[in-house]
Amino acid sequence: MVTPSALPDPNDIAMVAVSILAIIIAWDAYWLTKQRSDVPILGKQDNGCFAWQSEGSHEVIRQWGNLGSMAAMMALPWGLVQISNTSVTYVIIWDILLALHLISLLVPKRYAITNTHLFADGQRYPWSMLKLSKRQPKRRIMLLRKGWGIFGPLPLGGEQNDLSTARLYIENVLSEEKSENLIFDSNVVESE
């Protein structure tokens, strides 16, 4: 049986958890600010690219699952604070950090489609790593990151007109990507 003195101090564990959360939020904030420089111009571009911006309401639709998870993560520590003998200060800091993260989830995002990449959430995803989900939701576009399994959904938000245009661009880019891979595969077979 483990004695209470052999367990780590709950406040040390809380400090580590809060520190990790702060790093995650700082990392997300960096990517959120980067999206303006990555996608400076919106609309159809002469070079064949398309860029659009969502609004807060679109981000609520896009992030509804994450918002529910954040709310649960804010409430759960309060039930454990007395049992674990953790300082309430850490729980308050935890909730403040999660509230900041909630706000960052609702900030309007910029998206862009180029022939080689998708720009979403301040990050750049090569098309070779993405595919369209077979089941598409009505009010967003759902892409999947290859190799990520259940952790791979990448939803895109925006107005319906922008999403319709974006879906056409995405389907076009992905079909070109697929045909290029087929040509490459047939060349490999012929050379053998």
Total structural domains within the chain: 1
Q: Is 24 in contact with 32 (CB distance < 8 Å)? A: no
Q: Is 157 in contact with 58 (CB distance < 8 Å)? A: yes
Q: In this model, does residue 69 exceed pLDDT 90?
A: no
In a domain, 90, yes or no: yes
Q: What is the residue range of 59's domain?
A: 7-186
In a domain, 1, yes or no: no
Q: What percent of the chain has pLDDT over 70?
A: 89
156-169, pLDDT tens digit by residue? 888 999 999 999 99
pLDDT value of position 166: 92
pLDDT value of position 94: 92
β-bridge pairing 123-126 and 50-53: unpaired
pLDDT value of position 137: 81
Q: In this model, does residue 22 exceed pLDDT 50?
A: yes
Q: What is the mean pLDDT of the chain?
A: 83
